[in-house]
Chains A and B, each alone.
Chain A
Amino acid sequence: MLRTSSISRPTKLEDLLSSKEIARLDPLDLASRRVFFGKLKGERRSKKRGHSVEFADHRPYVTGDDLRHIDWNIFGRLDKLFLKLFLEEEDLSLHVVLDASASSDCGEPNKYLFMQRCAMALGYVGLVNLNRVACTIMSGIDADAAGRGEQSAAREAKPASPIRALRDLRGRRRVHDLARFICATMPGGTLSFRAAAERIALSRRGKGVMIIFSDFFFKDGYEDGLRILSGHGYDLILVQVLSPQELEPPIKGDLRLKDIEDADTAEVTISAPLLKRYQANLAAYCQKLREFALRRDMALLTVRSDTPVDSLVADQLRRLGVLK
C-alpha cells in the first residue's frame, strides 16, 4: 500500500530471475483453455474450431462474444445463449501486460518488481517453448521521460503514450531482449486503463493467451478496459497483485491518506472498526472483480507480492491451466 521506501530496480535478466528459478521454469510450457489458430507451424496439434472433436465446456453468452461460437443446438432447446468452448491449438501467442502506474510502485515487496519478475518468468517459458511472446507495459508516463528519470514531472503529466510494447519475440535468443524491455520501463503516473486497453486491442495481432498483471485499482474502473480486451479473442488471465500492506495496513493514528497517483486525500483516524471496514471493502472489491472475470470467461488470480515467483508460475498458474 505504502510507497516502497528504497528499491533497487532490476537492470538485466539475472536481476529478475535467479538461475534456480529458471531451472524450475524450464520444464513448463504454455497452455490455453481455448483453441486458437496458429500463425506458424508449431509443435502443436491443430484443433481448429468446427473440426474439433474434443468439446471442452459451455459458458453463458455475454455481450461482445463471437456469435459464431454460440451453441445453437442448446439455444434451440433451451432458448438460452451458450458458447461452446474448445481445447487448445498449436501455435500459441503469449501476451504479457504489466500495469506500470504509480500505484504499482508500492508495497513491500514492491508490486511492480513482482510483476516484472512474473512477466519475465512467463516470457521465458513462452520463448523457450517457441511460442510467440509479446509484452506490453501500460505506463502513465511518457517513455522518454521515464528513460530520462523525470518521474515527478511525468507523474503529473497527462498520459501521452499509455503503452509500450515489444512484439513477436520467439525463441530462446530473445530472452535478453525481453528482459531489457521489462527492466527499461519505470513505473509512475496515472493510468487510464480503458485507454490503455483500447491501444492494446488496436495493436493486437493474432490470438492467444493474454496475462494482465495489475492491482486493478483504477479510479475509472476496470470493467471497460477488460471488456475491450475480452472481445478480441484472447484467453485472458488476470493476476491481481496486492502488497501485504494493502491486505493488512500497518498504519495507526490520525492520518491524511494521499493517493500516490492523483494526489486525492482521505482523512482517517485509524481504528479497529475502520480497519475492519477497509478489509471488508477490499474483499468485496476483489470478489466483484472475480465475478466480473468469471462472467467474461477470464481467469483471475489474486496474489500477494511476497509470493515466490517460481511458486506462482509453477504452481498457481499451472493449476489455473495457463502452464502445463
Chain B
Amino acid sequence: MKFESELLKGVAPVVVLEILSQGRMYGYELSDAIEKRSGNVLSLGRGTLYPLLYNLEAKGLISAAWESNESGRQRRYYSITGIGKDELARQKQQWLDLQRGVATVFGFAVPQPA
C-alpha cells in the first residue's frame, strides 16, 4: 500500500528520526529500513531521501560522518543528535494526538478523556 506523497511528506522526517534513534545508518541502509520496518507501507522515494537527510542535518536533528567498513568502502553514516531525540519525542506525541483525534472522528475508537 502506497500513501499519497503529501501525506508521506509530513511523516517522513519523524520516520527517519525514529529509525535513526535505534542506531546509525547510511543512506541506502536507511531507505531499506524504512520499507522493511513499515512492512512496505511506507516507501520513501530515494530522490526524496537525500534532500530530507540534508535538511534534517541542517536543522541539527541528525549528524553525518564518513566512515569505512571492513572492506574499506566509504559510507556516510547518519546519527540522531540530542536535539533530534527531543524533536522525535515531541513529534511522536503529536502523532499520537493526531491519531487519536482522527480515530475519534472516523469512529474507530472511543476518545479517551484528557
Our verdict on whether A and B bind, yes or no, reads no
Residues of B within 8 A of A (CB): none
Interface residue ranges, A against B (CB under 8 Å):
none
